[in-house]
Amino acid sequence: MKEVTYKKALNKLLNSADKPEKKGIKLNPAKSILILFDGTDDRDRKVILRFSEQLKSKGKKVKLLSYINSKGELTDFGMAVYNNKSVNFYEFPKKHILELLDSEKFDFLFNLNIKDHKHLHALACKTNASFKLSLPTKYPHNFTMVMNTKEKEDLNTILAETNKCLEKLSYE
């Protein structure tokens, strides 16, 4: 029942999501980037923060949205975070989390959803981004590109591949 309800909500979200505008090729299409990821593990948060700082040093505007697997109070991790209190019983993000993404448009989305969490997947589908890069998923999606890496769980390998993709798609 949970799976059916989730897929129904996801399909509704996919049908209502903003479609990327087709305006031709930009010289440097990657000015603003959103990175979605599971930040439950402190080591993963540190790796993503380092990657984010590298992108910022190249002049990119980077926003992070992290899921923390807990029901308790959240501390300041230096990024936007949400936890299990912001996910409903069928693992779909609650309205206030979905609304976080309504106000901004991004050039790139990096959906680094290693564990294929349903709620992170839904947020990635909701995000208004010209180019959506994601890890493989079993759920319906609207991603521009799905990146399959040899080391599916190694965040450093995934980020190296993500960076290669960004370099190929950007003109510096």
pLDDT in the model for residue 21:
56
| Number of domain units in the chain | 1
CA 21/CA 4 separation, integer angstroms:
31
Which residues, in sequence order, are CB contacts of 126 under 8 Å at separation 6+?
Answer: 13, 17, 93, 98, 101
Q: Which CATH number characterizes residue 44's domain?
A: 3.40.50
Domain that holds residue 99: 2-18+26-169
pLDDT value at 23 more than 60: no
Question: Which residues make beta-bridge pairs with 33?
Answer: 62, 108
Place 163 in a pLDDT band, splitting at 50, 70 and 90.
Answer: confident
| Structure confidence by residue, pLDDT tens digits, 60-92 | 999 999 999 998 877 766 788 999 999 999 999
Q: Is 70 exceeded by the pLDDT of residue 22?
A: no
Averaged over 8-13, what is the pLDDT?
Answer: 85
Task: Quote the pTM value.
Answer: 0.86
- pLDDT confidence bin for 103, thresholds 50/70/90: confident
Q: Which of 159, 128, 155, 158 is nearest to 144 (CA)?
A: 128
What's the pLDDT at 20?
56
Whether 128 contacts 44, CB under 8 Å: no
- Position with higher pLDDT, 28 vs 151: 151
The conformational region for residue 116 under phi > 0 = left, psi -120 to 50 = alpha, else beta, is left
pLDDT in tens, 34-45: 999 999 999 999
Say yes or no to pLDDT of 160 above 50.
yes
